[in-house]
Structure 1
C-alpha cells in the first residue's frame, strides 16, 4: 500500500503538460458508491498535498502536516476499497492516478481539501 501512496506522490510531482490528460481506467471495474468515490478522491488529494508539503513546493496549499497521518489514511482507504468493492490494486492505482492528475489544478485541490481534512479527522487517523 505504501508503494501505491508513493506512486501517487510521484505522479503529483511531475510537470503538468497537455499530454498528461487524465486517463479513464481501461479495465471493466465496478462503479463506486458516492462515499467510496469521495474516499478515493480524498486519498489522492491528501497524497498530492503531502507530496507538495514534503517538497516544500511554492504552490503547496497551507494545511496541517499530512505525512504519516496522510499515509495511514491512504493505506486504510485503499484497503477498505479493495475489501468492499473487489477492485484490484491495479484498478485502484489507475483510478488514483486519474484523480491525482486532476489535482495538478491547485484551485481544484484547494476546493477539495477541506472536505478531505474533515474525512481525515473523522477517520481517527
Structure 2
C-alpha cells in the first residue's frame, strides 16, 4: 500500500490490500489515455470514494445512489479495459486510479468535485453496468 500512498485508501475496498502491497512500484511513465479512458478512470475513482463514504455513513454523499456492487463492477471493468487497451500493468492502472483520487481531493474541494461528477458518472455507470 505504501507504494500508492494514503490517497489510495478509499480504493482499498476494491483492491485487496495484500495485492497492492505485493505489486512492484511503477517504473516509467503512466500510459497516455484517451478522453473516454480518462473519464472512466475519474468516474471509477469517484465511485470508490463515494462508496467508502457511504460505508462510513458520510452525509456528504447522501444524494448518490448506493454504489457498492455496481461501483465495484465499474471499477473492475475500467481497470481491465485499461490493461487490455493500453497494455498497462496492474500497478500502472492502480497508479492511474490513485492519481485520479488525489486530483479529486486536491485543494479541499472534494464534495464540490464529486457533486459535479455525479450526473455524468452515473449516466456512464448506467451505460456500463446496467442496474438490475
Give yes or no for TM over 0.5.
Answer: yes
The superposition leaves residues 42-93 of structure 1 with CA deviations (integer Å, 9 ceiling, x where unpaired) of 1101111111111111322411111001111111111011101111111111
The superposition leaves residues 11-50 of structure 1 with CA deviations (integer Å, 9 ceiling, x where unpaired) of 7xxxxxxxxxxxxx86313210110111111110111111
Q: Counterpart of 1:116?
A: 121
* Count of matched residue pairs: 106
Unmatched 5+ residue regions in structure 1? 1-6, 12-24
* Aligned-residue CA RMSD (Å): 1.9
Q: Counterpart of 2:18?
A: none
Contact 2:30/2:96 (CA < 8 Å) preserved in 1?
Answer: no
Q: Distance in 2 between matches of 1:50 and 1:38?
A: 18
Cα pair distance change 1:70/1:31, threshold 3 Å: same
Query: What's the TM-score, normalizing by structure 1?
Result: 0.75
The superposition leaves residues 78-124 of structure 1 with CA deviations (integer Å, 9 ceiling, x where unpaired) of 10111011111111111211211233321011101211100000113
The alpha carbon displacement at 1:10 in A equals: 5.2
Q: Distance in 2 between matches of 1:110 and 1:27?
A: 33
Contact 2:73/2:129 (CA < 8 Å) preserved in 1?
Answer: no
Unmatched 5+ residue regions in structure 2? 1-7, 13-25
Structure possessing the higher relative contact order (Cα contacts under 8 Å, 6 or more residues apart): 1
